[in-house]
Amino acid sequence: QPVLTQSSSASASLGSSVKLTCTLSSGHSSYIIAWHQQQPGKAPRYLMKLEGSGSYNKGSGVPDRFSGSSSGADRYLTISNLQSEDEADYYCETWDSNTRVFGGGTKLTVL
């Protein structure tokens, strides 16, 4: 089954950009993933679906500041013009017919 690897933490300054990475395990580099945001004390929120081609589809109400891209087994979430409300945990998710996995999550701190 696939495994997703994320850095445990990241930080960037208010108004700057940050790129978070989710890496698919060997043999699963073509998998589609989804990105979710979890603000402190809240339920997760779906951000986007991201394909290996780099094509992505965002959820309703997700700001234009959020975008996705891909390179090989890596899936990226880029947040530009960082706002204080972007400080959150970010999880990637993938699945196949009988299983679903989440990455360990990246805690983003906005300085």
Partner 1 sequence: EVQLVQSGAEVKKPGESLKISCKGSGYSFTSYWIGWVRQMPGKGLEWMGIIYPGDSDTRYSPSFQGQVTISADKSISTAYLQWSSLKASDTAMYYCARPGVAGRNEYFQHWGQGTLVTVSS
Contact residues for partner 1, defined by CB under 8 A: 32-34, 36, 38, 43-46, 49, 59, 89, 91, 93-95, 97-105
For partner 1, the closer of residues 15 and 54 by Cβ is 54
Minimum separation from the CB atom of position 1 to partner 1 (A): 9
The neighbouring-strand residues paired with 62 are none
Instruction: Tell how far CA 88 is from the center of its chain.
Output: 11
Round to whole Å and give the CA distance between 14 and 81: 7
Q: What is the token pair recorded at 31?
A: 């998998």
The smaller minimum CB distance to partner 1, of residues 56 and 79, is found at 56
